Amino acid sequence: MEGPLCKWTNVMKGWQYRYFVLDYNQALLSYYTSKEKMIKGDRRGCVRLKGAVIGIDDEDDSTFTITVDGKMFHFQAHDAEDRSKWVSALEDTILRHTHRRRPKKSDSSQIPTLNDFERKLTETDAYLQLLINQIADLNLKIENATTENDKEKLVDIKAKTLTLLDGVKHTIVLLQIAKNTVHPVNGLIDDNKNEAVSQQTTPKNLPSVSQSTKDRRNSSASRVVTLEASKKEESLKLESDLLNLNGVPETSYSSSDDEEFFYDASEETPGSTNIDIATKSIDESSGDSDKPAIMNRSKIDYDSLYDDDDEEDLGSIEGHGSVISHLISQVKIGMDLTKVVLPTFILERRSLLEMYADFFAHPDLFISIADYETPEERFIQVVRWYLSAFHAGRKSSVAKKPYNPVLGEIFRCYWDIPNTSQQNSRTIADGPVPWAKSDNLAFIAEQVSHHPPISAFYAEHFEKKIMCSAHIYTKSKFLGLSIGVHNIGQGSIYLLDRGEEYTCTFPSAYGRSILTVPWVELGGAVAINCPQTGYSANIEFLTKPFYGGKKHRICGEILNSSKKPIMSINGEWNGVMYAKKSNGKTEVFVDTKSMKIIKKNVKSINEQEPFESRRLWKDVTVALKLQDVIAATNAKSAVEQKQRDLVKERQESGVKWENRVFHQLGEHWNYNTPLTRRLSTRLQ
């Protein structure tokens, strides 16, 4: 494949036209100053593609990146269609050269080496891909099924195959973790050095090949793979000799002095592969004899683990490179990650439902909306609370992912409002949190759907007659070097005494630099509206551009009922935001650095129902706190398997799932007994 692309250069701080040629066999992307120079063979530079990672920006439909050799290269296609063609061709090239087998150097009767281990993983990957292709064929057969009976049988086969697929993927990830335990990864591995690993350097605790494994090698499927592999290896050896003659560079380069630093040199750039990264094996981090045993449950204070907000920084992901690289090899740019199993070590010690509860970490700010007299003041306060919610929900810059809630999972809590007297307060037994009082802000959330993943939550303050109801469908997408999570849904705030409703949408979240030091940012445009008063706000969460700019920026404006701007807002959503009024006066709008986060009150885990978040995930939380990845993975798998068993039981008994405290109405999910309904019932 060949054609024009623009390439970013740091020296010129801009895009330069170049003519590119993709060599599929050599895994090389060469570029020239023009097509004529290409014909003459005057190459300007090249990018090696073996071991490279492609990335795209969800906010820009024409740019893409290639990360390899410790550098990040930025390219710009003519349009979205042109980018799609290049990205697809590049991905196919990378995948082809990433999964090549190396010549076998040891007899099967000897102790297996690291290369043997790698070969078996590659072979397993090949079978995994076959399984994925078969599932795709099943989908076509289901769509084309002529009778309902045939369709049901095919759907049943697909369900069982998906379970098998999930098990195979999980097994591969565990094997990668095991490999990383005995042979920690320090950046990228040089292929020649890796092949030179002798039998003496083989880890002693690597298990020998079992008889069953030898038998499997003799199976017909294994023989086919071996024959095909040997043919490919002969071809690859010849090809390798030719490449050496042609002088394929050891690293990507540019031949001109003025383009010495034409790759991205920002703080998100992966470090040099020559840097020695001090990493500890998972076994070392989890095998500390001073740590309490997870299984001794009677001595564990689960509640204190959740009260501890400190999350260990992941640091450089290169220490987990084998796991991340394997996962990346299984997905394509733009692929939906809803059903992709992510490694346990990236999990945050709380459920997604609890993260939504943390949106109300400034309960005094939320309930004060009802205190303002004019529509303009109330709307401004709604926007102020909205912009304060995300820094508490995203507690730190540590890029970790909350637990995926299981179907029917519940989280309940309440907040004491600062500087309020509780002398005349009373317990609201029919509220979302029956033990909360009338002057508390009570919260409840439920996972109302698993596929697609939809969460619903509800909050109310009885005395202020204010409530909030929302539902969010999280749709994850793989972007190469980033993961994008689109939060699809709507939230509504109701002021019962005013008869006003304020609707809002939610920004997308992005996990950036997933191969190096991950960090989180928000992006996208959101809208806040009040139909009763006509006030509205348009807020944009700005993602950081690679060629400059700051992180975590927002900008927006508030419009009155005449659609005239009365205030503009800018700043950082996790820092200080400023408001500029129509008279030109500027003032601090929200200062998240100085705002105190109010601790939520959650019932002790020992008193919770089995389906409540903290009790459900407690063993995973303990293991993560102790940095015992294997125990955390096992505990997480146990939770997920329990849910699969429950689904199977319902299917066998013909019982339809019923949500606990929310119900669906059109595209919305509403709380069953909101404050409006309970108050109207009392008046009757």
pLDDT band at 331 (very low <50, low <70, confident <90, very high): low
- Residue 98, C-beta contacts closer than 8 angstroms, at least 6 positions apart: 50, 51, 329
| pTM exceeds 0.75 | no
Give the integer Cα–Cα distance in Å for 417 and 371: 14
Amino acid in the structure at residue 596? K
Q: What is the DSSP letter of 250?
A: S
Contact present, 34 and 27 (Cβ < 8 Å): no
- More confident site: 143 or 288: 143
Please state which architecture CATH assigns to domain 320-679. Answer: Beta Barrel (2.40)
Strand 45-48 to 508-512 pairing: unpaired
pLDDT, average across residues 411-417: 96
68 sits in which H/E element? strand 63-68
- pLDDT of 199 reads 37
The packing angle between helices 321-329 and 148-182, to 10°, is: 150
Element (H, E) at 213: helix 211-217
Classify 683 as helix, strand or coil.
helix
Proportion of the chain above pLDDT 90, given as a percent: 37
Higher pLDDT, 441 or 54: 441
Mean pLDDT value of segment 494-504 = 96
Length, in residues, of the chain: 684
Checking if the pLDDT of 348 tops 70, the result is yes
Between CA 461 and CA 349 the distance in angstroms is 28
| Residue 457 structure tokens | 């939550």
Question: What is the Cα–Cα distance from 448 to 474, expressed in whole angstroms?
Answer: 12
Task: Taking residues 613-624, report their average pLDDT.
Answer: 92
At 182 the pLDDT is: 57
pLDDT at 429: 93
Given a contact cutoff of 8 angstroms between Cβ atoms, the answer to whether 140 and 154 are in contact is: no
Among 42-46, 315-319, 661-665, the range with the most confident prediction by mean pLDDT is 661-665
Contacts of 565 (CB under 8 A, 6+ apart): 557, 558, 559, 582
Query: In the prediction, which pLDDT does 665 show?
Result: 93
Per-residue pLDDT band at 510 (split at 50, 70, 90): confident
User: What does each C-alpha distance from 200 to 102, 110, 111, 114, 205 come to in angstroms?
Assistant: 19, 12, 10, 11, 13
Nearest one of 500, 512, 392 to 443, comparing CA atoms: 392
Q: What is the pLDDT of residues 233-256, one digit of tens each?
A: 444 444 444 344 444 565 565 554
The CB density around residue 556, as the number of other CB atoms within 10 Å, is 22
Amino acid symbol at 359: F
- 70 pLDDT above the threshold of 80: no
Candidate from 9-13, 67-71, 257-261 with smallest mean pLDDT: 257-261
The pLDDT score that the predictor gives to residue 260 is 34
Per-residue pLDDT, averaged over 165-185, amounts to: 65
For residue 204, the model assigns a pLDDT of 37
Q: Indicate the pLDDT class of residue 273, thresholds 50, 70 and 90.
A: very low
Give the residue-averaged pLDDT of 669-681. Answer: 93
pLDDT digits (tens, 9 = 90+) for 77-129: 989 899 999 998 998 888 888 655 444 444 444 566 777 777 777 777 777 77
Nearest Cα to Cα of residue 319 among 276, 272, 268, 264: 276
Q: Is the pLDDT of residue 381 over 90?
A: yes
The predicted pLDDT at position 234 comes to 44
Q: Which residue has the higher pLDDT, 375 or 260?
A: 375
- Burial-class residue 122 by CB neighbours within 10 Å (0-12, 13-18, 19+): middle
What b/e readout covers 582-593, taking b as 16+ CB neighbours within 10 angstroms? eeeeeeebbebe
What's the pLDDT at 281?
A: 33
CA distance 87 to 96: 14
How many angstroms separate the CA atoms of 48 and 573, rounded? 39
pLDDT at 635 over 70: yes
Instruction: Note the pLDDT tens digit of each residue in 277-314.
Output: 223 333 333 334 344 334 455 567 777 777 766 655 44
- Using alpha carbons, list the distances in angstroms from residue 648 to 121, 160, 253, 453: 31, 11, 56, 19
Of 71-80, 224-233, 473-482, which range is least confident?
224-233
User: pLDDT class for 168, splitting at 50, 70, 90?
Assistant: confident
Angle between helical axes of 220-246 and 114-143 (0-180°, round to 10):
110
Neighbours of 428 (CB within 10 A): 22
pLDDT band (50, 70, 90) for residue 229: very low
Query: Residue-wise over 391-402: b if at least 16 C-beta within 10 A, else e?
Result: bbbbbeebbbbb
Residue 340 · residue 346 · CB < 8 Å: no
Q: Answer for the pair 500, 532: CB distance below 8 angstroms, yes or no.
A: yes
pLDDT on residue 279: 31
515-531 average pLDDT score: 87
Q: What is the residue-averaged pLDDT of the chain?
A: 77
- 149: helix, coil or strand? helix
**Mean pLDDT along residues 144-154:** 87
pLDDT at 396 over 60: no
Q: Where are the beta strands (DSSP E) in 267-314?
A: none
> Do strands 347-351 and 401-403 pair parallel, antiparallel, or not at all (unpaired)?
parallel
Gyration radius from the chain CA atoms: 28
Q: Is 175 helix (H, G, I), strand (E, B) or coil?
A: helix
Domain ranges of the chain: 2-101+244-259, 114-208, 320-679
Report the 3 state secondary structure along 476-525.
Answer: EEECCCCEEEEEEEEEEEEECCCCEEEEECCCEEEEECCCCCCEEEEEEE
Examine the pLDDT at 652 and tell me if it is beyond 70: yes
Query: What is the rounded CA–CA span in Å between residue 633 and residue 343?
Result: 8
DSSP 8-state symbol, 318? G
Lowest mean pLDDT among 26-35, 52-61, 140-149: 52-61
- pLDDT surpassing 50 at residue 207: no
State the amino acid at position 529 in one-letter form. N
For domain 2-101+244-259, the CATH architecture is Roll (2.30)
Query: What confidence tens digit (pLDDT) does each residue in 543-583 have?
Result: 887 666 788 999 999 999 999 999 999 999 999 999 999 88
Residue 179 has a pLDDT of 63
